[in-house]
Structure 1
Amino acid sequence: MGTMNISLPDTLKAFVDEQVSQRGYGTSSEYVRELIRKDQDRLQLRSLLISGAESPPAAVADGNYFEGLRDKVRKAAGTTPKA
Structure 2
Amino acid sequence: MSTMNISLPETLKSFVDDQVAGRGYGTSSEYVRELIRKDRDRQALRGLLLEGAASAPGNIADRTYFNALRDRISPLR
Q: TM-score, normalised by structure 2?
A: 0.87
Does 1 or 2 have the higher relative contact order (CA < 8 Å, sep 6+)? 2
Cross-structure match for 1:81: none
**Aligned-partner Cα distance in 1 for 2:75–2:9:** 52
Counterpart for residue 3 of structure 1: 3
**1:15 maps to which residue?**
15
RMSD: 2.1
Q: Which runs of 5+ in 1 are unaligned?
A: 79-83
1:36 aligns with 2:36: yes
SS at match of 1:57: coil
Taking the TM superposition and a 5 Å limit, the aligned residue runs for 1:1-83 are: 1-69=1-69, 71=70, 75=74, 78=77
After superposition, give the CA deviation of every residue in 1:5-60 in whole Å (9 maximum; x if it has no partner). 00001000000000000000000000000000000000000000000000001211
Which stretches in structure 2 are left out of the alignment for 5+ residues? none
Percent identity, aligned pairs only, is: 62
TM-score (norm 1): 0.81
Aligned length: 77
